[in-house]
Amino acid sequence: MVKADSRITYLIIIALLIACSYIGLHVFIQYSASGFVYTQIAGIMLTGIGVGGVLVLLTYAIELWKKPEYLELRLSWQPNPILVSYIASAVVLYFGIGVVLSALTPVNENYTDTLGPVLIGIGITSLTITAIFHYRSAAKARGSGKGSGKEVTVKPFENDLGLRVVSRNNILSAIARTMSTRLLTPEVIKSGMLANPQVLSSKYVFFSLLALVASVPLTAFALISLQQYDAPLFPAFLFLLAPLAMLVMPYLKLKSMAGDRKRGIEDELPFFCTYASVMQSVGLSLYNSFENIASRNVFANLEKEALMIQRNVQFFFKNQVEALEQAGRVHPNEKFRGLLLGYTSEWRSGGDTVHYLDAKSKELLNDMRFRWQRYTAMVSDIGEVMVSLFFIMPVLILTTAFVFPLQTTVITGAVVAVLIPLLTTVVFMMISNMQPKTYDLIEGKTTFSVVAAIASFVVAYFLSHSTVWIALATSIISTGVFYGTSVIAQRREIALVEKALPQFLRDITEYKKMGYDINKSVFKIAEENSYNTTFDALLKNTAKQMRMGLRLSDAEIKVRSWLGRLTFFLLGEIVNSGGGTASALETLTNFVSNVNQIKKEAKSTMQLYEVLTYLTPIGLAFTVALMASLMTAFSSTVASASEVGILKQISSVPDELIQTTNMMIVAASASMAFVAGKAIDLTSKNTLRIAVTAAIAAISISLSTEFVSGIIRMVTG
């Protein structure tokens, strides 16, 4: 095997890019007066690609000259796939350039003007992909020790390319340093991102440099394109904002991460504070509570905070109070910051930390109740706005159809295909952001649902003689039933577990007052008490594991409810801490009861919203049927004068408009049910409500025409 010098390969690529730039300039300058727009565009593309490629590859020059293995090319008697790909890409690029040059003659220019840039694009794309794959393969071979004859036991540190390029240029390095110290460092601390601000800023300065190189030919291309159509030229200069966007992107990304970190622990904090209060009552500090939840998969967001606090103690040699204070000073969440700083202040002053955590737990619980009440009020308002909007849309569309029926069909199709999905997405994201988070485990059968949707759509489409709204409704119903049936069973299991938890904790507390420890209480309750089928099975399984020698904290609690998992986790920690007291168990019982009561009140508040969800398709169907009947009656009235003028359009009511409007009713009903499911059930996986709403819409559409026609005949007769 003969190893080629990668420096030569590198110089060959540089030469090809320079040639590409020369050909592009030659094509653009010499033939700019020929009038062939595509030829000018191809010249600009070649020039931009060549110049940009040379600038990018020059950044590798020093590195590649010192370390040629970065672009290693091996030749052997057997064909190398990378070498073959390089040659094939170069051949395609050559023919593409040849076709572009031949297109300058008026010989079959309609095809050659298009084929040339296509071949050039394919060749350049293939060269780029091959180079990336080649570089990664060489890096992987170096990391695994391939071909060196030595076993690599330690993975070498991989220097970031952007950091290397930026650090070797004084101007770029100064820009990156300024970004790091003035913008990114405070935001990195607030976001909790484990990253070096200098490396992060260097990476995006490098991206900004690449964006600057790419934006110049793109701007020229856009200017020529807009000039051909006599359009305003200022949109072309928007490409020049790409480098600035790259510089601002890390700051915005860190701001977003800080916001996610702030909101992430908002819903977990009352539960954790109650847990810390119970642990403090048995002698374990707040730091011990953080230490216990680390890597336990109970608190999804607070575990990250616990790991960082634990890191500061174990690796940065801070004491526990200093670690808590440092976490409190820089955290973006005010409640979490107040909890940590208040606790350390209470500890330093010799105050009652048990009373402090208990009071803080009640305060956070009241705050959670307020957030649930605010959420239900806002969701109800959003639901009413959606209902009003969906009622107004068909009225406006059908009113417009009096004058422009054919154009209205296109508008209605756009509403179904674009406006309703866009509105649903926006409202869904709004509700998701303001919604109190739960971590219940709910899974649906996606594969069967997709198959059922496709099969039912095809069958209904042919059986209904190509009636799209019937096929759409059938597809939504079948998908919702297949996916939602299993979800309903899981949600019922969650509801039964959470319903039994307060009584179970009261029984534990009573046994504790009688002198039983928690383990014996679980055994007695599993044998003697009965709550419901689901919770009884869970309790017996837990007691069975404990009889086999497992601790309560080590037993596998198979429960979908996050509140249920949290409750058993707290009981296990109380057992590990020495058994706890009846007062601690009373605190836990009252907290779980209050959480259930808050959820129950929130759900009862949104009952009107749920009723509106089911009534919306009925109202939409009868509104559309009434408008269609009025249009038909008006058409028959002016039929004698419909041969000329605008009356000809008014009198023609296309059937496609009615079918498209019916499809809009089905889509709007499914959209309402989807958003309502997210708002009421706190998950979008309960698709059974969508299936029921789609079925109501289909039945209402089928019955509304005859019903409204009968009413009109009765009134006019």
- Specify the 3-state DSSP secondary structure of 230: coil
Model confidence pLDDT, tens digit, residues 552-564: 888 888 889 999 9
pLDDT of residue 101: 55
Cα-based angle 338, 570, 367 (whole degrees, multiple of 5): 35
Does residue 654 or residue 476 have the better pLDDT? Answer: 476
**Residue range 530-554: mean pLDDT, rounded:** 90
Does residue 614 or residue 26 have the better pLDDT? Answer: 614
Report the mean per-residue pLDDT for the chain. 78
Amino acid making up residue 494: I
pLDDT of residue 649: 52
Q: Cβ–Cβ contacts within 10 Å for residue 474, how many?
A: 24
Model confidence pLDDT, tens digit, residues 673-708: 999 999 988 888 889 999 999 999 999 998 887 787
Cα-based angle 693, 694, 696 (whole degrees, multiple of 5): 65
Model confidence pLDDT, tens digit, residues 38-73: 555 555 655 666 655 655 555 555 444 444 444 443
pTM for the full model?
A: 0.70
pLDDT of residue 156: 46
CA dist., res. 505 & res. 46, Å (int): 74
pLDDT of residue 406: 64
pLDDT of residue 488: 92
The answer on pLDDT for 96 being more than 70 is no
Burial class of residue 203 (count of CB atoms within 10 Å of its CB; 0-12, 13-18, 19+): buried
Instruction: Please tell me the number of Cα atoms within 13 Å of 324 on its side-chain side.
Output: 22
Which residues pair with residue 142 across a beta bridge?
Answer: none
Model confidence pLDDT, tens digit, residues 70-94: 444 333 334 456 655 666 666 666 6
- Radius of gyration of the chain, Cα coordinates, nearest whole angstrom: 34
The residue ranges of every structural domain in the chain are 36-68, 80-129, 161-256, 265-367, 382-441+601-716
pLDDT category at 3 given cuts 50, 70, 90 is very low
Distance of CA 100 to the CA centre of its chain: 43
pLDDT of residue 536: 92
Model confidence pLDDT, tens digit, residues 457-493: 888 888 887 788 899 999 999 999 989 998 999 999 9
Model confidence pLDDT, tens digit, residues 108-162: 444 445 455 555 656 666 666 666 666 666 666 555 444 444 443 444 444 567 7
CA dist., res. 1 & res. 99, Å (int): 38
User: What angle separates helix 320-330 from helix 334-348, to the nearest 10 degrees?
Assistant: 150
CA dist., res. 142 & res. 152, Å (int): 9
Does residue 252 or residue 118 have the better pLDDT? Answer: 252
Model confidence pLDDT, tens digit, residues 337-386: 999 999 999 998 888 898 999 999 999 999 999 999 899 888 888 888 88
pLDDT of residue 99: 57
pLDDT of residue 183: 87
**Residue range 653-664: mean pLDDT, rounded:** 80
Share of the chain above pLDDT 90, in %: 18
Distance of CA 326 to the CA centre of its chain: 31
Model confidence pLDDT, tens digit, residues 205-236: 988 888 888 888 778 877 877 777 777 777 77
